[in-house]
Amino acid sequence: MPDPAAVARNDQLQAASAEAASWLAQRGAGEGTSLPLDQAPPWLKEAHQSFAEAVEARAATYCLHLVGRGPQVVVIQAEYPEEALCRACAQARAPHRFCLTCCRGAGTSSPAGGVEDTFESSAVVYSRVRCPTCVERAALDDSHPDVG
């Protein structure tokens, strides 16, 4: 039997998803592409999994702006996947984010504090940043798939 709270939450998530898409578009993320979770990159699967587990265990935290204010976009930053943030809080953190690959400061060459990848899943925006060095290294690895 469906839990009414879960149904309500799901409705809210769907209502907010169009908003998430336009927020990403405004930030230059371009048209969203939908991505089946089994094709998601590992960092995204991990962030999604950690957040889902935290919600399940009631260990997830939500910034104050997300509580009791109706449907809105939730941002999960991959370095703290058990924390749900509103967009303003997510942006306020941007300069302090660190590279998900090497854990060093991501650099301040972009507003995201590095190179940011975002994925939208229903109304949740998942985001990671990497420093330019790690992005370059990953691109090299990708161009030699037989090596790794």
Which residues would be at the binding site for Zn ion (CB under 5 A)? Answer: 63, 65, 86, 89, 99, 101-102, 131, 134
Which of 8, 102 has the CB closer to Zn ion? 102
Measured CA to CA, the distance from residue 37 to residue 21 in angstroms comes to: 18
Question: Given the complex with Zn ion, which of 24 and 107 has the nearer CB atom?
Answer: 107
Q: How far is the CB of 100 from Zn ion (least distance, A)?
A: 8
55/63 with CB nearer Zn ion: 63
Write phi, then psi, for 79 (nearest 5 degrees): -80, -20
Give 7-48 as a 3 state SS string.
HHHHHHHHHHHHHHHHHHHHCCCCCCCCCCHHHCCHHHHHHH
Structure tokens at 33: 């592409």
Name the minimum Å distance from CB 15 to Zn ion: 19
Burial 50-79 (b: 16+ CB within 10 A, else e): bbeebeeeeebeebeebeeeebbbbbbbbb
Toward Zn ion, which CB reaches closer, 37 or 65? 65
What minimum distance in Å lies between the beta carbon of 81 and Zn ion? 16
| Phi, psi of 70, deg, nearest 5 | 80, 180
The nearest distance, CB 57 to Zn ion, in angstroms, is: 22
